[in-house]
Every structure is written in C-alpha cells, then in structure tokens.
Structure 1
Amino acid sequence: MPRKPPVLLISFNRPHLSQRVFERIRIYQPDRLYLAVDGPRAEETHPRDAAGVAACKDLAQAVDWPCEVFTRFSDVNQGCGRGVSNAITWMFEQESHGIILEDDCVPEPTFFDYCADLLDRYRDHPQVMHVSGNNFGGEGTAEACAPFSYAFTRYADLWGWATWARAWAHFRYQIPPPAEVPKSHFIQEGVDRYRQYAQRDRVLSTRQKTSMWGYQWQYAVLKNRGLCAAPAVNQISNTGFGEEATHTTGSGSLHAANVPTTPLTFPLSHPPEVVVSPRYNRIYADNVLGTTGRYRKRYLKRWIRTLLIPGYVPKK
C-alpha cells in the first residue's frame, strides 16, 4: 500500500457533523491533515455561526496522532461555492494529490485505502481525473463493476473523493457561456441524448449560481474527457440533509440521505482497461437524472415553442 495521502476536511458551522468525519479521519491517521473552515456570516442574520465556526476550528487541536496539521481559517464568509473550491486549491498549492471530505460526508473506513491505492496507481495517467467515494446505483453498480472493485465513468460524484493537483489545475470557477460550449463535451457513453442534454443544462446553469462549485468541476472533467473511478459499493454516507444544509434541504433529496456504506475488499481488483463503463454511466443516469421520458417531453416542448413563438429563448 502506498504512503497515506493527505486529507482535506472542509468545515463551516456544523461541529456535530464535522466531528463524525474527523473521527473517521482519526482512525485512518493520515500523515498530513488540512483543515479549512469558512468564516461566519453576519451575526444579525446568523447568530449561531460564530460559535459553530469556533468549534470546528477546535478540531485542529484534537489531532492526537503523529500528523502535520495545516489550517486555513477564513475571517470572512466566502460561501459554499468559493469557500470550498478555494480550500481545495489551497491544498493543491502544496500537495500533488489528496482526499477531500466535507463536513457531512462520513466515509466508510476502507474509503481511505481505496483512494490511496487509486491515487498512486493513476498518478501519471492524465485521463483519470477523479476518484469517487459515493455512488447512487446500489446493487446495480456492483453488478456493473463485477468482477472488479470499481469502474470508470464520466460522472464526478463529490461526497467524499480524491484527485491530483494536475487534474484540479483544469478547474475554473466561471464556466463559459452556453453558446461557447460544444455539445460534444457532454457525450456520455451508454446514456441517451435527452439525459445528456439534461446534464448539460444542469452544469451550465451554474453560471447564475454563486453557491456551487461541483458542477464547475464536473464541467472540467467533461471538457477534458476525463475519467472518474467509481466504487462498486457505496463508501460515503451523507449526514448533512435538513434545514442546516445549503442544497440538500428538500424532501426530494432524502432518498440519498444517510445511505449505508459497504466495505471494499483488499487487495482491490482493478479493471484491465482504463475506459468508460457505459453500463455504469447508464445506471448513474437512471438514478440521478431520472427517466428518459421526462426529458424527452421537456425538450420536445422546448423545440415546439422555438418553432412557434418568435423570439422564444429556452430557459436553462
């Protein structure tokens, strides 16, 4: 097994969640831990932020194993778009590779060795840009990967993941205007064109949203035809659903909340070829993007309106 990679824990104002992730990091005991905590929002509107942020910063003093600890404590609130992406950039200004965990992404203990193995194995393979910890396919993904421990897909899941500085160098917070983005960027092997269009709309709509950074990373991966290693079994349980969350507040997201994790078996069984699994791509689309019929109707209506209504501009 290669040397333990550095781990970045990104936190804000939820110490009860951050502590659970920290306890899993403590079990792994990386040699280098990066702790990034965003600054509190205005006290008038968010009076509990200051105490929560202070408690998250205290985690730096709780490291009780041989470890170099690096901290990035912001004096101002950057938000969960700039705050998270700036923290990742900060780590990669000092490291060639690393594992990234946000405060609500509780990893299965085998997640760390899985990431370490793949970060070492594909460190000089520029097409491999991302190592995912979570998946949304359940048993279907295990069947799609079999007999191997993981498969390659185009979807960069971000609830616990790892990457390299060489890959993160492609990240840009600002995505180009839709007219400047070729549709070829969004080709997904094994996925019909309607859901490719849906993914394109999702990613490009990020230009109007300052609270996001993940779709920008997905865009960087797609633009460069990058590959994402995705595990056969789920390695991350997201505990951050509810009123305190920024994005996962609604009941429509609850199917992904607190999903059980499953250990991976070592040594890992590696796919013989570094190529996309169309079957894994299709399972992802089925479980995350939804049915083809839903999007077929949407784009048919959009096409008809474009023909019949002068000057009609489809919403993104």
Structure 2
Amino acid sequence: MKLAPIALFVYNRPNHTHQTLENLIKAPEFKDSVLYIFCDGAKTEEDVSAVQNTRKLIHSYDLKNTIIIESENNKGLARSIVEGINYVLQKHDKIIVLEDDCVPTPDFLNFMNFCLSYYESDERIMNVSGYASPIEIPEDYPYDIYFSYRSSSWGWSTWKRAWAYYSNNPNILKMIESSSSIKKKLDRAGLDLYPMIKKQTSGKSDSWAVYWSINIILKDGLCIFPVKSRIRNIGNDGSGTHCSADKRYDVQINEQNTEQMSIPKIVIPDGRIVKACYNFYAGSMFKKTLYFCYHRFSKFIDLDSIICLQRLKLI
C-alpha cells in the first residue's frame, strides 16, 4: 500500500503544534510518509513572536522526508489550506490533511491510508474524516466506519480526483437558492450549512471547509467517518482563529491500534446515523426552528443575530 503524503498547517500556536506533531510521530507509518508543513505568516505584530516560536519548534525536530514551507505574508486560513493542498496534489494523487489543533491517535495514519487505498477507485467517496462527531451510533451497527453526506475538516484525507471538484466561487450561493432540489440536499447534510455559506459569501467568514462540504454535496458525493474518532480536536479552547471555547465536540478517541476493520459491503449511508448527524449539527429544537425560519425567510432575519446567540450559548 502506497502511503499518502501528510500536509500539516500551522500558524501561531506552538503548544498545539507540539501536541499534534508528537502524536503524529508515534504512528508506525509516519517514518515512511512524506510530510509537508505549511507555516502561515503573521497577520499582526502581536502574532510575530508566536509565529516565530511555532517555526522554531518545527525546526527543532529531526524529521526525514519533510518539506517545510514558510510564508512571509499572512494568507489566512482558507487560502493557506487551499493553496497547500493544491501544491501537494500537483505531486501526489492523494493527501492527508491536519491542522495544528488536530491531535491524531497512533492508528490515524493506518486508518486514513486503508480507506484511501480501499476506496481509491470509488468516485462516490470524496472525503475521509479522522474525526467522528459525538453522535449515538446504533448498538446493532456492526461496522467500524459509516457514510455521511457531510465532510469534516478535522483530520481528513482525499484524492486528486475528488479535490478537482473544489471551488470557492461565491456564485455557488445563487445556485443553491435557485434550486429546491439542491437546497434539500444541503439541508439533509445539516441545517447549519446554508447560514455558513451565506456568512462566507458576505465576507463575514474565512472558511474553505464550507465550500468543500457543499462541493461534495453538489456532486452527490459521500464521506467516510470512523465510528471511533481518530482525532481529538484541542482547538476549541478559545485559542483558534475561527473557534471559540466549546466542549460540544469533545469525543472519546480510539485507544486501540486497529489492524483490521469491518467495512460495509454496500456504499449507502445508514438512515439512523444520517438522522443522528442531522440532529447533532442542528442542535436544540429552538436552534432548529431558528435555522428553519432563516432558510425560508432569510431576507427578513439578520444572520448576525443568530451568530451572536450561538456565541452566547443561547442556541
């Protein structure tokens, strides 16, 4: 099995980067993997010291098969990640992506490479996630992975064939709003995606991940998730550029080195798990109702008010 290259994106959090690198190195496959580390430049004078400390940490490791790419200017999260992925996929057919706050389990690389190899020729599968949302999996579900209509950007992988569909064209919003069938597909993956793309296209957010999720939906693609998470996200401590402190996404990670996995024979999402994912991302009944109203009457409801209520933990 040919191992996929790893792209690690870092900025100004040396402590987070240290935890992620230390755990990544523990993976048996790491020594035979190519690692690309993309370091974004400082956005403000206040960030310079932390950015420099992060880079010093990276250079303190004696890592083989590692390419470090340091940007003099600040690209921002979205541009940095998209350009980095494009750079790697010019040289390789697949990629594993980590950000500085996504701490992998020892078998994360094994899980990723297995799925990338197993589903390489299945064009329905467009994304493999290492993080598993804390949803309730049915007790009689016998497999180690499940299929979802929605992607996750917390430790993930894809192929060049799938990433070719990535587009951050803001006209994607008009396409969604002009088609009821596309809107239904979007809602099926999560009621929060429509407000997210509205926020993105209005310039109030800097996200590449919402575009990726929607691109997959537009192509009727599917995403793979582990039943037991291979990623522990430590960025919800309030230190991240786009994440406030939030324990809602805390998960129990896989503690065992899984050599063999049970895989569904048919590539079809389990309806019970789809519903559980839908409910998780929609949140409370009040939040679902608010999202529903925003979807139907977005011209009359202020998105900033919804965002404010979310940050205050009122929805």
Task: Give TM-score, length-normalised by structure 2.
Answer: 0.84
Match of 1:76 in 2: 73
Distance in 2 (CA, whole Å) between partners of 1:293 and 1:42 is: 38
For the residue of structure 2 that corresponds to 1:275, the secondary structure is: coil
* Shift in CA distance, 33/302, structure 1 to aligned 2, threshold 3 Å: closer
Match of 1:37 in 2: 39
Match of 1:152 in 2: 147
After superposition, the C-alpha distances for 1:14-53 in whole angstroms (9 at most, x for unaligned) are: 111101111122122242000000001231xx2xx22322
Letter in 2 for 1:224: K
After superposition, the C-alpha distances for 1:228-253 in whole angstroms (9 at most, x for unaligned) are: 00111122111112342122214xx2
After superposition, the C-alpha distances for 1:106-158 in whole angstroms (9 at most, x for unaligned) are: 011111101000001111111100001112234x23647x2111011111011
Q: Which runs of 5+ in 2 are unaligned?
A: 304-315
Match of 1:5 in 2: 4
Match of 1:61 among 52, 59, 62: 59
| Residues paired across the two proteins, number | 296
Distance in 2 (CA, whole Å) between partners of 1:94 and 1:71 is: 15
1:52 partnered with 2:50:
yes
* Shift in CA distance, 248/260, structure 1 to aligned 2, threshold 3 Å: same
Distance in 1 (CA, whole Å) between partners of 2:163 and 2:295 is: 35
Distance in 2 (CA, whole Å) between partners of 1:268 and 1:302 is: 39
For the residue of structure 2 that corresponds to 1:158, the secondary structure is: coil
* Shift in CA distance, 96/296, structure 1 to aligned 2, threshold 3 Å: same
* Shift in CA distance, 176/69, structure 1 to aligned 2, threshold 3 Å: same
* Shift in CA distance, 36/183, structure 1 to aligned 2, threshold 3 Å: farther
Distance in 2 (CA, whole Å) between partners of 1:174 and 1:143 is: 41
Match of 1:111 in 2: 108
Q: Using the TM superposition, give the Cα deviation of residue 210 of structure 1 relative to its aligned residue in structure 2, in angstroms.
A: 4.5
Instruction: Decide whether the 8 Å contact of 1:203 with 1:218 is kept in 2.
Output: no
Distance in 2 (CA, whole Å) between partners of 1:60 and 1:130 is: 28
Distance in 1 (CA, whole Å) between partners of 2:139 and 2:267 is: 18
Distance in 2 (CA, whole Å) between partners of 1:133 and 1:271 is: 17
Instruction: Decide whether the 8 Å contact of 2:11 with 2:54 is kept in 1.
Output: yes
Instruction: Decide whether the 8 Å contact of 1:155 with 1:281 is kept in 2.
Output: no
Match of 1:260 among 232, 238, 252: 252
After superposition, the C-alpha distances for 1:78-101 in whole angstroms (9 at most, x for unaligned) are: 111212222222221221112111
- What CA RMSD, in Å, does the superposition of the two structures yield over aligned residues? 2.6
Distance in 1 (CA, whole Å) between partners of 2:83 and 2:17 is: 19
Q: Which runs of 5+ in 1 are unaligned?
A: 307-311
Task: Give TM-score, length-normalised by structure 1.
Answer: 0.84
Sequence identity percentage: 23
Match of 2:313 in 1: none
Instruction: Decide whether the 8 Å contact of 1:151 with 1:229 is kept in 2.
Output: yes
Instruction: Decide whether the 8 Å contact of 1:132 with 1:160 is kept in 2.
Output: yes
After superposition, the C-alpha distances for 1:175-204 in whole angstroms (9 at most, x for unaligned) are: 325332234335459x7x6x8554333334
Match of 1:309 in 2: none
